[in-house]
Structures are given as C-alpha cells and as structure tokens.
A = this chain, B = another copy of it.
Amino acid sequence: MTTPRLPGYEVAPWELRWRWLDLDALRRTESTFALSNGHIGFRGSFEEGEPRGLPGTYLNGFYERRPLPYAEAGYGYPEDGQTVVNVTDGKIIRLLVEDEPVDMRYGSAPHHERVLDFRSGTLRRNTEWVSPTGRRVRITSERLVSFTQRAIAAIHYEVEPLDGQAQLVVQSELLANEPIDGDVDDPRVAAVLKGALVSDFAVGEGSRAVLGHHTRRSGLRMAAAMDHEVDAPAEVSTENWTEGDLARLTLAAEVPQGRKLALTKYVAYGWSSQRSPQALRAQVEAALAGARQSGWQGLLDEQRAYLDDFWEAADVEVDGDAELQQAVRFALFHVLQAGARGETRAIPAKGLTGPGYDGHAFWDTESFVLPLLTYTLPDAARNALQWRHSTLDKARTRAAQLGQSGAAFPWRSIDGDECSGYWPAGTAAFHINADVADATARYLAATGDGDFEASAGLELLVETARLWTSLGHHDAHGRFRIDGVTGPDEYTAVVDNNVYTNLMAQRNLHEAASHCELHPELASALGVDEEETARWRDAADRVVVPYDEALDVHPQSEGFTKHAHWDFANTPPEGYPLLLHYPYFDLYRKQVVKQADLVLAMWLRGDAFTPEEKARNVAYYEALTVRDSSLSSSVQAVLTAEVGHLELAYDYFAEAALADLHDIYQNVRQGLHIAALAGAWIAAVAGFGGMRDHGGELSFAPRLPPELSRISFRLCFAGSRICVTIHRDEATYALSHGEPVRTSHHGRPILLTQGQPITMPVPRPPENPLPRQPAGRAPTRRRLQPTPGG
C-alpha cells in the first residue's frame, strides 16, 4: 500500500500546521482542518468563500431524503435514501481591499498558514496577501465550534493594511444552498443534492440576522443565526441585508496602516423535525445571546478547559516518532470532535467533516469509535448508544419486515431507517447488531452505569439477542448455525457461519442472558423469562465455529478455505481498490479479504482462540488481506502485535494513524475516516498496550515495537483513571484517580491503587514466522521513511 507524502503538514506534537498555499490540496485540507463538536460541523474552507474545494457545513442528523433506484426491485429493499445536507454556511466573511476582492487565486501570498490546535480547539489562519494591484494586507482569523455551547460556532477575524491606509469592506454572511460540485466517479462517494433547502424566513437587523429553512422531501427544519462584534480604529458604516437564502452584514471602514479592523462573528444553529420555524428562530437567537454573554475570550477559555480535561483523560504519548505522535493526537482530536456533543444522534463514518458515505453511520461507530470513547469520554459513548436505542422501534419494524424477531439495526443510516441499496453488503451484514450489543456490554462493564442499563442498555442487549435466535437455527446435531449472512469482510458476502458473526452473536446472547439474570425485574418488563434466556444460552453454547482441520486454521466462514485464491500476482497496483475494478461475483467466491474479519474476531473475541490458533490464523489471513477498507490496519496492528510481529504492527499502526494525513485512500476530500482514526488509538492501546476487556475484565499485555521508546496512554475505568506507560523492558501502571482497579499484566493479576504505581517487566514476544501480505499490499515500512521535521 502506497502512502504518498503530501507536502504541507508540519510535524508538531499538538497542532496541525499547513504553511503553504496549495490550491490543489484545498479539498483535502478542508477535511483535515474541519471543526466540529459532534452537532455542528464546519469544513476548513477559507472565510472568503473562494477558492474552495468542497464547502460544507453540517448539522448532525439533518438530512434530505432521496429515492433509491433499482434496476430490479426486490421485497424489503429500502425505497428512500438519506443524504446529509450542506446547510446554511455561517463561516463566510468576504473581504474587499480597495475594491479588490480577496481571493487567493489572484495576487500573491508571501505568507500563509493555517493551524489546527488540538489544545485550544481552534483553527487559526494567518495570511499576508498582496492584491493584483499591489496592496498588502494581513488577515488573521481564529475559529471554533464550541464544545461547551453546543449550538455555537464563532470566528474572530482581523484585517490589517500593511502598506498605508486602505478602505476595507467586510461582508459577513449566512448563505444557504451554495452550489457545490459533484464527485461521482466512485460508488462510495455521496450523492450530491442541490437546492435542498427551502426558505422559511429571513430576518435581519443591526448586527444580527437569522435564516430559516426546511428540506424539500424530509421536511426537517433548521435555523441559522449570526451576530457580530466589531472593533475598528475608525468609523464603520454597516448595512444589514437579508433575503431568502442570504443574510449579509456589510462593514466598510478606512483603516490606517498598522491598525486592525476586528470582527467577532457568533453563529448559532438549530434544527428539528417537530418545532416550528418560530421556535427554531427563538432557539438560535437564545444561543446567540448566550455566546455573546460569554464573549469570544470566554468561548476560547471554555474550549481550552474542555480540551484540557479531554487530554488529561485520553492522551496517548508516543516517543520515537514525532509524526506518529502528531497523527495520534490529530486522530484523538477528530474522534472527540465527531462524538463530543452528538447527543442522541449518530456518529457518522465521516463525522461532520465531509459528505462522504452520504453522512451515514455504520457499525464503525460501535466497533471502532466506541471502544475509544468508552475508555476516554464515556458520556459520549453513552450518547451514541442512546442514539441506537432511540432507533429501536425502527429496528424492530425492520426485523419484522425481514421476518425476524427482535431488532435489526440498519447497515447505514442517518435517522435509523435502513438506507443500504445493496442488500448482500447491507441488510445481510447482521453482525452490526452484535456490534451494538458488544459496545453496550463494554460500556456497561467499563462504567457500571446502572441508569443507562435500566433505561436502554438492557433493552439493546435483549432485542439484539432475540434477533440472533430467529436468524439462526439448530441443525440435526443440535449445533446453532447462522446461515446466509455477511461478515465484516466486504469481499465475501452471504455465507454460512461467518466466524466473526457467530462469535459476536454468542457474546451478545451470553451478555443478554447475564444482564437479564442480574436484573430479573427489568428483564421481565421486556418480556424476557427464564425460558428465553435459556434458549439464548443454549444457542450461544452450541454456536458453530467452523475449523479447517486440513489447513489448521479457522475459515472466515464455512467453505471459505476451499475457494480459489485471488490471483494477486496478476493484479496490478491500479487494480486496487478491487471493488472498483473487479465484479463482486469474482471477489466473493475467491480467497481475498478486504478488511480484517476473522482477524477482527481474534481481537474482539480473543478469548475464543488459543495463542497458537491466533498465530496460524494471522499468518493465513495476512496473505489474503488487501486492506481496501480503512477498517483493517488498526485491527491487523492489534493481532500482529499479539502474535509477536511488532514491527509489522508498527507499520499498521502508522497506516491507521496517517490514513487521512497521508490520504491513503485517496478520498479524504470527502471527509475523514473517523473509524481509522479511532483505530490509531486501538493500535496503540489494544495493540502495543495489549489491552483487552473480555467479559468486562481489563487486562494488558504491553510490548513496544523497536522503533518506539515509549507509549503512554490513559483510560477511564469504573470511574477511576489509569495511566499505562510502556517502555522497552518494563511497563508502569498508575491509578491517578478513583477506586482501586484489578487488572493484569501479561496474565499476572495486579491491583492498582492511588499513589502506588506498579512496574512490571515486559516479556519477550512470541516467535512466529513473519507473515506475508499479497503482492504489493504490504504496509509501508515506516522505518524507511525519514520523518520530516522530526
């Protein structure tokens, strides 16, 4: 896998800086420089609106419906899709310098840099621009999407003439229905919706304006409001103009050289499927009033305090690879942004950083993002599970439509309705239900959150368990089979007894039964009796886990190892990703793996495999896995680390962490790969930290790759805070806060108490022959790359 180094990002531990003007990279950097609090998302586009890559402003859960067409329709195919809408853009602050619009495609920029600061939670910009006629100005801006005031974004913007007094005209806008270009040569790229917003109202007066809109087909309503504070060294004339899709505050002033025209813009957003336009208007105006009361500095202070808390709980330190240190914090920062304040909304696969995957959420959330959030920001994990729970009625309806009991969560969705238009890789991927249950059980074990268990958690476990007993059946020998479903690997579909699915269903059934046993009254209220829990346990105990005795490996699913091998030798580099160059029929029937599947089972259900099985399976599946999905390298890092291939694990770690900074999948313009970024944490904590949580028991088995001298990470567990520091030969466990925690180090039990760090020796890794990857698909050898600036 090639990881082209893009120019531009400078290596620094706590920020992402881009010092040059590279118009071609605009779309990519709009994604990496995106700001979000999980409710509002601002892509990192320039204040002046143009040049631009793919402008984007998103509100979590706000979507438009579109019909899903089928060449040949079928029963149970979803009729409607959902697509995230580019809502009213509140980022825009246009500037004219002596009648010349500032546009970086013209004139020149002797200095230009943008900095995403992981500790301040802001995007700063500093541009010195020379107009085509030679006038020089400095533009500085800083903006944030507030973690503490969920409806608020704000921009502080300053312009300074550098070569004598200049007339400056600033236009601060709210702009709806921006025309955007499509990008449709890839089936994975989102459909583009044009003119999705219909104006409900547009009002403005003084420094304030509000626009109200609704979507044409989904009928969702939104409002966006702005207010401003101006600080100018001279008289400023102002004009407030509003019309349907546009609100504009225009400021004009003669500004002397060396003085600055400063503008603080507060933007508030709200949306609802129920509330009236009037109520929404009141809501955003109230939010604006709150933000103005805090003021710009107040918002900055709150933002930094919020992030100080986050880093205290979540930081991962990596010594020995400065770029990777930066990438890991970049990853953590963006996962935080995706999940912080979603609150009963989904965490989409792209967060709120771009329109990719139509803005849908997948199993990525539960299986990749929630492990991170559960141990670093458990409230955000609970909120994400709360969203799933809020869609239970839709999931029950879907299950019934499919002839099943319990709940069938959608493969991809914004509001909980299935939006997958290709059932073999959508509806059939029932494992998402076990993934939801696993995330629920993990959250409950890691937090002991009894309120959530009672209000939502138990019901999630029960309804997903019910699905499995209806999906599976007992064969003539009493074995419990789950036939005709699709596992995580999207290059294999509609198979019998996928090992991952069966083992995760097994856990789901056991967890549901155990939690019902602990809470018989709650269980009874959900209609669960002892007969039902007995059926769950029986099915779980008898679940089929196929094994290939001849090859001594687990087939990913029944019959998998009998299939022909993919002809890797004759697949050219440009043949990847394979799904764009080969038909599904041929991918499905051959031994080629898009993403960790059996290997994922060995992480999440590592308790179901022996160390020897893990080593053999890793060797077998490494040779088949092409990583055409961003959900693979982190999992491969975990398992290759466990079986002793620490250098290889390090390469996979880097691939996950750098997925978007190196644009490995060549589509970061459509938004970040939030699950791959969460995978950087997974690779560090579960990979090199060896952290596992089977059955709610926390355990560690740390080992460093030779390239790194230290990894240190923090975890929240049962209200306590743990810090694990791994050196080459020893690892130290410290409890910084809370009750004592029982855990283990390479199988040896330890009890962590405050003020008593425990240091343990790191044993030598197991020795297994280094596996091979398909021709051309080995991860980039990290040590061969000089680390720029590092």
Contact = CB atoms under 8 A, between A and B. Distances in A.
Contacts of A70: 69-71, 421-422
B550 A476 contact: yes
B69 A583 contact: no
A402 B562 contact: no
Contact of A74 (B403, B420, B481, B579): B579
A609 interface: no
Given A473-B564, A585-B484, A421 B72 contact: yes
A581 B425 CA distance: 21
Most B Cβ at <10 Å: residue of A403, A579, A580: A403
A483 to B, nearest CB: 4
A579 B72 CA distance: 12
A586 B402 contact: yes
A494 interface: yes
Contacts of A77: 71
Contacts of A588: 484, 494
B69 A71 contact: yes
B68 A496 contact: no
A425 B422 CA distance: 13
A81 interface: yes
Nearest to A473: B564
Interface in A62-79: 68-78
A589 interface: yes
B75 A562 contact: no
A475 B562 contact: yes
Given A476-B550, A484-B589, A562-B496, A72 B582 contact: no
Contacts of A550: 476
A438 B276 CA distance: 68
Interface string A461-475: 000000000000101
A242 to B, nearest CB: 39
A558 interface: yes
Contacts of A580: 75
Interface in A416-431: 420-425, 427-428
Report which residue of A75, A559, A590 has the largest number of chain B beta carbons within 10 angstroms of its beta carbon: A75
A562 B402 CA distance: 21
Contacts of A421: 70-72
A592 to B, nearest CB: 12
A75 B589 contact: no
Interface in A399-445: 401-403, 420-425, 427-428
Contacts of A788: none
Nearest to A188: B72
A572 interface: no
Contacts of A75: 579-584
A527 interface: no
B402 A585 contact: yes
Interface in A47-75: 68-75
B484 A563 contact: yes
Given A71-B70, A481-B562, A563-B484, A583 B476 contact: no
Interface of A: 68-78, 81, 187, 401-403, 420-425, 427-428, 473, 475-476, 481, 483-485, 493-494, 496, 550, 558-559, 562-564, 579-586, 588-590
Given A424-B585, A493-B494, 8 more contacts: A69-B71, A71-B81, A72-B425, A74-B584, A76-B583, A76-B585, A403-B582, A483-B589
8 contacts: A70-B421, A71-B422, A75-B583, A75-B584, A423-B584, A427-B585, A484-B563, A494-B588
